[in-house]
Amino acid sequence: MKHPFHDAEFLTTAADWRQLPSGGAPEVAFAGRSNAGKSSVINALAQRSRLAYISRTPGRTQHINFFRATSGALLADLPGYGYAKVPAAVQRRWQVFLARYLAERKALVGLVLVMDARHPLTDLDRQMLDWFLPTGRPVHVLLTKADKLSPSERRRALQDACRTIARDYGAATVDAQLFSATRRLGVTDAELAINAWLAPRESAASAEKERPRHQGE
């Protein structure tokens, strides 16, 4: 199986729309409430210890970090949400930018939404879904820190989350799974989900490169 983000390297940081990477490489965005474990998820998928910085003072990062995989695909690490560590005016500006990014970014093929398995589907998680789902692109929910739950609690947490998603979002393309970065629980399942998003884009790119060129094109 291809590992979509193994050996990924930092590419650039974007603080506004003009700074977003160009070129059209497929992007997978990672979002989540501060302290939900998003940085640990990214590090686990990349098999790197500090690719994504794990801050002890969450909520301060107000930009999107981009990492490039060996395949050329991009990983977009969105700012953690849920902590009021910046002025209200800055928060509003970032809400506008992130809402536009999620709704209009053509290279974006899917959203990995990271939630603490003990506190899933908060109001802010739902806001992210409301911004993204109208695009028709898929969401894969990672219920993190599953190692802090007993086996029966894990099953219940997953069942409850899937039931709530089905009830509130219907036919929308939202999947959910358990995840633990410390025990590497669910890493393979997450990679399979991401590969399914990237494969059509990578196949299309390969076909375009191989397509015969005619005079006048």
Confidence of residue 80 (pLDDT cuts 50, 70, 90): confident
Q: Which helix (H) or strand (E) holds 174?
A: strand 174-178
Q: Is the pLDDT of residue 92 over 70?
A: yes
Range 82-103 average pLDDT:
80
Range with the poorest average pLDDT among 70-74, 182-186, 211-215? 211-215
**Across the strands, what pairs with 141?**
113, 176
Question: pLDDT averaged over the chain?
Answer: 86
Range 177-192 average pLDDT:
96
Residues with Cβ < 8 Å from 207, sequence gap 6 or more?
A: none
Q: Would you say domain 9-210 falls under CATH 3.40.50.300?
A: yes
**Across the strands, what pairs with 117?**
none
Give the Cα separation of 184 and 88 in Å (integer): 37
Q: Is the pLDDT of residue 188 over 80?
A: yes
Confidence of residue 209 (pLDDT cuts 50, 70, 90): very low
Amino acid 199: pLDDT: 87
Amino acid 210: pLDDT: 45
Amino acid 86: pLDDT: 67
